[in-house]
Amino acid sequence: MIKRTGFSRLLFATHYSIKGLRAAFKSEAAIRQELMAMSLLVPTALLLNISTVEKLLLIVSLFIVLITELLNTAIEKLCDHITTDFHELIGRAKDIGSAAVFVSLLLAIITWLSILW
């Protein structure tokens, strides 16, 4: 395996990141739903008559949801690669990943309600 450095490493890392985003978009309905929500909510946040910091908080809260969903998807894919049979620890790992997404969604909802209220 070639250890890349400098600009070459950045190019390859970007390529793999885009590849991961495409794979997640193709295989996960939740990712598609969250991106659809973001495509509506980010412009909404930008158009609201609120401070720049408040706009940033609204948008960042949405990106936190997406990041958490991507990490949860990675956990689920890895678990499914290990086994699709029921295993208590794998089930627990998937549940914890799902809980992380739930908490990030609560954070986004609380942020939006707090700022819009």
- Is 115 within any annotated ligand binding site? yes
- Is 98 within any annotated ligand binding site? yes
CA 10 to chain centre: 21
Quick check: is 69 catalytic? yes
Q: Please give the single-letter amino acid code of residue 62.
A: L
- Is 9 within any annotated ligand binding site? yes
Alpha-carbon span 91 to 77, nearest angstrom: 12
User: Out of 69, 70, 72, 101, which one is annotated catalytic?
Assistant: 69
- Is 94 within any annotated ligand binding site? yes
Q: In terms of DSSP H, where are the helices of the chain?
A: 6-27, 29-47, 52-82, 88-116
- Is 22 within any annotated ligand binding site? no
Categorise residue 12: left if φ over 0, alpha if ψ from -120 to 50, beta otherwise.
alpha
- Is 116 within any annotated ligand binding site? yes
Q: Which residues are annotated as a binding site for a divalent metal cation?
A: 28, 76
Q: Which residues are annotated as a binding site for ATP?
A: 9, 16, 28, 76, 94-95
Known binding-site residue numbers for substrate:
9, 30-34, 69, 98, 112-117
Binding residues: 9, 16, 28, 30-34, 69, 76, 94-95, 98, 112-117
Residues identified as active-site: 69
